[in-house]
């Protein structure tokens, strides 16, 4: 089996390789060639940790495996380690033998950023100029960098409940040579694309903050109870998701579904747009919305890309097993 340690991954994995892997696996999911296994997530009653598994099988990509990991809230203060910890295990789909073990922490950030980038590539207006960010934490900087590569954006605007974190976004805008402006939520009407990436349990982005023609990528809501958008926005938008089951149970759509504003049939897998079986955006006025909940197959696809890159560059560690 091959091992690719966490420390090597930032030097191996590019945003472009992550984008390609995620776009392909979304396409395979919509074509019925790849599916995610039920997610396990447990409060283990130790260190206040949440631990679980996300797995799946991609017949097209010949990728089978799981990501194991979770959230250890005291890691940083007690051990100087990051609170999110995960590892991906890949298996040979022909024999069932383990084929690789790959550090999952940095990869998770890039695969999540790739998902909103794929949605922007396929659903945002081609003339999008202003990108708006709601959220300015760890993941927001990854989302913004990947998004900026999808359209010739001319300006970044941002809002965050904790304004002292906004310099994180300003730094990414500056890196890309773009102006950054901190705005109130009303100011989001200037945005052609909005990414939400907060850990909020109550809506921040309301219908009145969104202009016609905007594409919204909702990336923060990945658990029952979390919410970033007023549910009415889902009622007035054309809604896409990475996976419909997750979208309606733990994604942003959970609230609009629970209140009957939309039904499951109103949500389309983004892979259908990638495959050309759904036309995607139909007009310059339509609001498109992507509910990116984060699926195990994204992790496996990006991990498989990391293994290929590590082998190509001669840095994969081979062990007998
Ligand atoms: P972080 O802790 O670094 O940042 C949290 C962000 O949420 C900050 O901008 C903070 O100001 C904001 N926030 C906190 N409480 C808020 C509230 N009550 N209302 C509005 N904003 C609030 O976390 P992160 O690593 O950037 O992750 C952000 C979110 O993205 C989390 O909910 C995480 O679970 C989710 N996430 C989703 C995926 C996916 O695949 N969809 C992947 C990774 C992370």
The verdict on residue 97 lying in a domain is yes
Q: Are 241 and 247 in contact (CB under 8 A)?
A: yes
Ligand 1 pocket, mutate which of 168, 198, 249, 291 (most atoms under 8 A from CB): 198
Number of folded domains that form the chain: 2
Pairing of strands 288-291, 238-241: parallel
pLDDT per residue over 81-133, tens digit each?
999 999 999 999 999 999 999 999 999 999 999 999 999 999 999 999 999 99
The verdict on residue 116 lying in a domain is no
pLDDT at 321: 86
Distance CA 319, CA 311 (A): 13
H or E segment and range at residue 247: helix 244-249
130 CA to centre of ligand 1 in angstroms: 22
* CATH code at position 104: 3.30.1780.10
pLDDT at 168: 97
User: Per-residue DSSP letters for 175-223?
Assistant: HTT--EEE--GGGGGG-SEEEE----EEEEE-GGG--TT-EEEE-S--S
C-alpha separations of 209 from 48, 158, 170, 216 in Å: 37, 13, 21, 11
33 CA to centre of ligand 1 in angstroms: 31
Phi, psi at 181, each rounded to 5°: -130, 130
C-alpha separations of 76 from 73, 82, 85, 164 in Å: 8, 5, 11, 20
Are 130 and 84 within one domain? no
The verdict on residue 118 lying in a domain is no
Are 40 and 180 within one domain? no
pLDDT at 204: 98
The one catalytic residue in 67, 129, 155, 224 is 67
How many CA atoms, within 13 angstroms, populate the side-chain half-sphere of residue 54? 19
Are 254 and 214 within one domain? yes
Are 59 and 162 within one domain? no
Query: What six digits make up the tokens of 97?
Result: 């033998």
315 CA to centre of ligand 1 in angstroms: 33
C-alpha separations of 92 from 1, 162, 201, 273, 306 in Å: 10, 45, 39, 30, 16
Are 288 and 160 within one domain? yes
Distance CA 33, CA 26 (A): 10
The verdict on residue 188 lying in a domain is yes
3-class SS of residue 299: helix
The verdict on residue 113 lying in a domain is no
ipTM confidence score: 0.99
Name which residue sits closest to atom 35 of ligand 1, judged by CA: 220
Query: What six digits make up the tokens of 135?
Result: 């959220």
Pairing of strands 215-218, 193-196: parallel
Q: Are 237 and 289 in contact (CB under 8 A)?
A: yes
Q: Which residue ranges in the chain fall short of pLDDT 50?
A: none
Count of C-beta atoms within a 10 Å radius of residue 265? 7
Full residue range of the structural domain in which residue 173 is found = 125-293
Contacts of 68-77 with CB under 8 Å at 24 or more apart are: 69/104, 70/41, 72/47, 72/48, 73/47, 73/48, 73/49, 74/47, 74/48
The verdict on residue 119 lying in a domain is no
Are 235 and 166 within one domain? yes
Distance CA 67, CA 52 (A): 8
Are 76 and 217 within one domain? no
The verdict on residue 142 lying in a domain is yes
Is residue 122 classed exposed, middle or buried when 0-12, 13-18 and 19+ CB atoms within 10 A define those classes?
buried
Are 84 and 187 within one domain? no
Are 170 and 246 within one domain? yes
Q: Is 67 considered catalytic here?
A: yes
Distance CA 215, CA 33 (A): 27
Are 7 and 95 within one domain? yes
Are 149 and 265 within one domain? yes
Are 301 and 289 within one domain? no
* CATH code at position 139: 3.40.50.720
């Amino acid at each position: 089996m091959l091992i690719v340690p966490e420390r090597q991954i930032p030097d191996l994995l590019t945003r472009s390789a992550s984008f390609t892997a995620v776009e392909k696996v979304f396409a395979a999911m919509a074509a019925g060639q790849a599916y995610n296994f039920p997610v396990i997530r447990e409060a283990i009653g130790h260190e206040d940790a949440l631990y679980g598994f996300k797995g799946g099988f991609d017949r097209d990509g010949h990728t089978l495996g799981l990501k194991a990991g979770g959230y250890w809230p005291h890691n940083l203060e007690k051990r100087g380690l990051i609170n999110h910890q995960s590892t991906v295990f890949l298996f040979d789909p022909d024999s069932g033998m383990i084929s690789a073990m790959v550090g999952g922490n940095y990869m998770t950030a890039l695969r999540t950023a790739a998902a909103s980038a794929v949605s922007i590539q396929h659903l945002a207006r081609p003339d999008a100029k202003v990108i708006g960010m709601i959220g300015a934490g760890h993941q927001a900087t990854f989302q913004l960098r990947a998004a900026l590569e999808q359209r010739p954006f001319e300006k970044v605007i941002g809002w965050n409940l904790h304004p002292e974190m906004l310099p994180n976004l300003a730094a990414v805008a500056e890196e890309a040579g773009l102006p950054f402006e901190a705005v109130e939520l009303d100011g989001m009407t200037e945005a052609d694309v909005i990414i939400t990436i907060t850990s909020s349990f109550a809506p921040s982005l309301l219908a009145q903050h969104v202009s016609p023609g905007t594409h919204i990528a909702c990336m923060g809501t990945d658990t029952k109870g979390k919410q970033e958008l007023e549910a009415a926005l889902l009622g007035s938008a054309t809604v896409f998701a990475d996976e419909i089951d997750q979208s309606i149970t733990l994604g942003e759509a959970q609230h609009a579904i629970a209140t009957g504003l939309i039904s499951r049939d109103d949500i389309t897998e983004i892979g259908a747009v990638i495959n050309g079986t759904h036309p995607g955006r139909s007009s310059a006025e339509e609001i498109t919305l992507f509910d990116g909940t984060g699926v195990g197959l994204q992790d496996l696809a990006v991990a498989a890309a990391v293994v290929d890159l590590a082998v190509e560059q001669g840095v994969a560690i081979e062990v007998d097993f």
